[in-house]
Copies of this chain bind each other. A is one copy, B any other.
Amino acid sequence: MKVKLVSYNPDGERVVAIAAKISRSRKGWDYHENMSQEEIETWIRDSILHGYWSVLEHSVYTFSIEGISRVASHQLVRHRIASYTQTSHRFAKPVDEYYRPVSPPSARGKIEQAYIDLYKEYYTLLQQGVPEEDARYLLPNGVNTNLVVTMNARELYNFFGLRICSRAQWEIRAVAWLMLDEVRKVHPRLFRYAGPNCILHENFVRPEDDPVTLEQEKQFTSARCIEGVPREGIWKCMKNSRNILEKLK
Residues of A within 8 A of B (CB): 2, 4, 6-9, 11-12, 15, 18-20, 22-26, 28-29, 50-51, 54-55, 57-58, 60, 62, 64, 66-67, 69-71, 73-74, 77-78, 80-81, 83-88, 90-94, 98, 101-107, 110-111, 114-115, 117-118, 121, 125, 128, 130-131, 133-143, 146, 148, 150, 152, 169-170, 197, 201-202, 204-208, 221-228
Contacts and interface: CB of A to CB of B under 8 A. Distances in A.
A8 B58 CA distance: 10
B125 A138 contact: no
A169 B170 CA distance: 30
What's the number of copies of this chain in the assembled complex?
4
A70 B69 CA distance: 13
A12 B7 contact: yes
Contacts of A221: 205, 221-223
B140 A138 contact: yes
A127 B228 CA distance: 29
Contacts of A136: 71, 141
Contact of A83 (B22, B101, B152): B152
Given A22-B148, A58-B148, 15 more contacts: A6-B15, A7-B12, A23-B87, A26-B98, A50-B227, A51-B226, A73-B74, A90-B169, A105-B134, A110-B128, A111-B137, A137-B141, A201-B204, A204-B204, A205-B224
A55 to B, nearest CB: 6
20 contacts: A8-B9, A22-B85, A28-B64, A28-B66, A29-B146, A58-B83, A60-B60, A74-B74, A117-B117, A118-B138, A133-B169, A133-B170, A137-B141, A138-B140, A138-B141, A141-B143, A204-B226, A207-B223, A208-B228, A221-B223
